[in-house]
Amino acid sequence: MNNKFRCNCPITSALDILGDKWTLVIIKQILLQDKKTFKDFTNSEEAIATNILTVRMKNLVELNLVSKSKLPSNKKSVYYHLTEKGLSIAPIIIELALWAGETLKPLNSAMVEPRKMGLNQSNKEEYINNLVANYKEKLATTMYIKS
């Protein structure tokens, strides 16, 4: 485990992990858009290239933010899901959503727009708690084969 952190600042180190073009987009897709399989991600509106996705997923699994499993119903697909550690990124995603909602107003025509999600400054704590609880609930009631 070589240290690939720029320096010993925690925020900077967090950005060494999360601060690239795709990592947080992938986590957003899992958390808010119900994406699960390799194909879900490559077919998303962001259209991540397969080679990039492979590398990012590998990193996320190594960091224990995402875990890989298989669904018994569909043995050909891989089921990517967030770990507890991955779920702890939810507040960052929500703050990004709120910031975009306030600052990038002109382009708020999308599905994951805060208002359409029922998200705003005053309910964000509760929103995050529900989001995480719902995700855990969904995971707990999903049959999958750990790999």
Partner DNA sequence: CCGGATCCGTTTCGATACTG
Partner DNA sequence: CAGTATCGAAACGGATCCGG
The partner in contact with residue 57, picked from DNA, a copy of itself, none with C-beta cut-offs of 5 to 8 angstroms by kind, is: DNA
Residues whose CB falls within 8 Å of the CB of residue 45, separated by 6 or more in sequence, listed in order = none
Residues 110/28, Cβ–Cβ less than 8 Å: no
Q: Residue for token digits 């224990």?
A: 64
Question: Which entry of DNA, a copy of itself, none binds 50, CB below 5 to 8 A by partner kind?
Answer: DNA
Does residue number 77 form part of the binding site for DNA (CB under 7 A)?
yes
What CA–CA distance (Å, rounded) separates 134 from 140?
10
CA angle (43, 112, 42) in 5-degree steps: 10
Work out whether 145 is an interface residue with a copy of itself (CB under 8 A). Answer: no
Interface ranges with a copy of itself (CB under 8 A): 5-21, 24-25, 28, 32, 45-47, 85, 88-89, 91-93, 95-104, 107-114
Interface ranges with DNA (CB under 7 A): 20-22, 37-40, 47-52, 54-55, 57-58, 68, 76-78
